[in-house]
């Protein structure tokens, strides 16, 4: 099974330009596949742990980081049955002037992160991640 084909099916959408699939079981948070040329492959194991933590209350007040870049949590349904997605947006600063949208999907063993292109609406990034998450969950992945 090639995880790269999952990545390309995400990035082929005109609204998504970077994606990564990482393991999320504790101790096995490694990158399974990532888009070439993107920076999502640098998401660390600690960041994955923070994203899937069972205590969600600190996520909103403190935000999350992806590969060291700070993001604000907009909508969190990562642990909600039937949704399992989370929408976040990058915080802007002088180094990062564009607020990119991200959607994170959680399957049984992995998390999928997709990055929207500049000015992509969050509603364009969410559906492909949601569909893929649902598909992998059905396969017990």
Partner 1 sequence: MGAEQEINSGRSYYIDTTALHVPRAGVELISPLKNGMIEDWNAFQAIIDHIYSKHIKSEPSLHPVLMSEAPWNSRAKREKLTELIFEHYNIPAFFLCKTAVLTAFANGRATGLVLDSGATHTTAIPVHDGYVLQQGIVKSPLAGDFITMQCRELFQEMNIDTVPPYMIASKEPVREGAPPLWTKKDKLPPVTKSWHTYMCNEVIQDFQASVLQVSDSPYDEQVAAQMPTVHYEMPSGYSTDYGAERLRIPEGLFDPSNVKGLSGNTMLGVGHVVTTSIGMCDIDIRPGLYGSVIVTGGNTLLQGFTERLNRELSQKAPPSMRLKLIACNSSIERRFSSWIGGSILASLGTFQQMWISKQEYDEGGKQSVERKCP
Q: Which residues bind partner 1 (CB under 8 A)?
A: 15, 60-63, 70, 72-76, 83, 87, 89, 91, 99, 119-124, 126-127, 130
CB proximity list for 140: less than 8 A, separation 6 or greater: 108
- Pick 79 or 119: Cβ nearer partner 1: 119
Structure tokens at 87: 């929408």
Tell which residue, 31, 97, 109, 93, has the closest CA to residue 67: 31
Q: Least distance in Å: CB of 128 to partner 1?
A: 9
Q: Decide: residue 23, CB within 10 A, 0-12 exposed, 13-18 middle, 19+ buried.
A: middle
Q: Closer CB to partner 1, residue 49 or residue 75?
A: 75
State the minimum distance, in angstroms, from the CB of residue 78 to partner 1: 14
Judged by beta carbon, residue 34 or residue 133, the one nearer partner 1 is 133
């Amino acid at each position: 099974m090639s995880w790269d084909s999952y990545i390309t099916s995400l990035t082929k959408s005109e609204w998504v330009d970077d994606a990564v699939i990482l393991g999320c079981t504790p101790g096995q948070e490694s990158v399974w596949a990532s888009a070439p040329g993107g920076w999502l492959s640098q998401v660390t194991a600690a960041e994955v742990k923070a994203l899937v933590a069972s205590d969600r209350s600190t996520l909103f007040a403190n935000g999350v980081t992806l590969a060291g870049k700070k993001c604000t949590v907009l909508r969190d349904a990562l642990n909600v049955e039937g949704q399992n997605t989370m929408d976040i947006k990058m915080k802007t600063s002088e180094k990062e002037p564009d607020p990119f949208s991200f959607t994170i999907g959680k399957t049984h063993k992995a998390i999928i992160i997709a990055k929207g292109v500049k000015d992509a609406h969050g509603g364009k990034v969410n559906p492909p991640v949601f569909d893929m998450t649902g598909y992998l969950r059905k396969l017990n992945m």
